[in-house]
Amino acid sequence: MLKYFCLTLVLSGLYFTTFINYLLFHSIVEIISIVVACSFFMIAWNSKKYIHNQYVLFIGIAYLFIAFLDLLHTLSYKGMPIFMDYDYYANQLWIAARYMESVTLVVAFYFLGTKKTFHPEKIFAVYTMITAGIVASIFVWKIFPVCFIEGSGLTPFKKISEYIISGILCVSIVLLQKNKNRFEDHIHKMLFFSIVFTILSELAFTFYISNYGFSNLIGHYFKLFSYYLIYTAIIETAIKRPYDLIFKELALANRNLNKEIDRRKQTEKDREEIIVELQQALTQVKTLNGLIPICAHCKKIRDDNGYWNQLEAYIVKHSNATLSHGICPDCTKKYYSDLG
């Protein structure tokens, strides 16, 4: 209850900062997301030598560069006295960062589904080049599509991009659901809702006509929720229960091994029970074997106690056979020829 009370208090306090200065609200939200993303990177990077979950490592590296683009987005937001030549770099940086984030969340599943490991340094270098190209296309070459026009609002490119990004994020949700057994339940749930809130954030950013508008405010709240869930899933888990995050694959292998051991134990138990049943059945089987003394005339058989028994009685007693009487053709002719 205390945790939720504090969260409510923080969210309410953030809202009241908008009455003082919207830039203050925006900067606080963005700084929180940047801190979470950088913390995610530091945990993933410093555990890269023994982390088994390539998905987490790949995303952790990517989030450093997403955080860098978000930092530039914060510094270039309209009203910030830093980049004075153009007021809407922030909108372009936002779209670039969200494209990078959504594509990363999908591509990461390639590394989750393969046993191949990648070199973190190479991934770091690739993201460095991509980020450098994005920054240069916005600030130097100025070829990145315009995303906001004063007076008319969002450009078609910006709106369409938000829907495309939302679609890519939906693909990542589908892939996450298909691979949910590779994550701890708690981590899977937090990542799932984090992506959902990111989608809601993107959709909210398709409606605003002012960088200080209500829709923009809602979009940043959803982004804050998304990064809070990332914090809960990755950072908090890494601190409190590092084995759940870093050694998930190893723990999963151990659980599968234990299941296989239990299965084999049960198979062995079933086999032993079958052997016992067969042994019991064998003790009940009656067979005739060895030398059997039989009278040459009356065909009586002598048992182990020296008593002479009728042939039929001896066979029934010492076997599972049931005798049925009849008359053979020779005896019929000999004894019942007058009936013929």
Q: Whole-prediction pTM value?
A: 0.72
pLDDT at 262: 84
- Separation of first and last alpha carbons in the chain: 107
How many angstroms separate the CA atoms of 145 and 3, rounded? 42
Q: How far apart are CA 7 and CA 87, in angstroms?
A: 33
CB-CB contact of 146 with 136 (8 Å): no
Neighbours of 130 (CB within 10 A): 15
User: What pLDDT is stored for residue 261 in this prediction?
Assistant: 84
- Domains of the chain in start order, with CATH, are 2-252 (1.20.1070), 281-323 (no CATH)
| Chain segment 125-154, per-residue pLDDT in tens | 999 999 999 999 999 999 999 999 888 888
Alpha-carbon distance of 158 to 238, in angstroms, equals 36
Measured between alpha carbons, how far is 333 from 337 in angstroms, rounded to an integer? 5
Region of residue 112 (left: phi > 0; alpha: psi -120 to 50; beta: else): alpha
8 Å CB contact between 205 and 194: no
What is Dmax (Cα atoms) for the chain? 136
Cα–Cα distances in angstroms (integers) from residue 12 to residues 1, 7, 19, 286, 288, in the given order:
16, 9, 12, 88, 94
| Residues making up the chain, counted from first to last | 340
pLDDT given at position 128: 97
CA torsion 241-247-248-252 (nearest 10°) is -120
Q: Helix H segments across the chain?
A: 2-20, 22-46, 54-75, 89-112, 120-135, 156-178, 185-204, 214-230, 237-240, 242-246, 248-284, 311-318, 329-335
Give pLDDT tens digits for 257-273. 778 888 888 888 888 88
pLDDT of 166 reads 95
Given a cut of 50, the residues of the chain with pLDDT beneath it are: 246-247
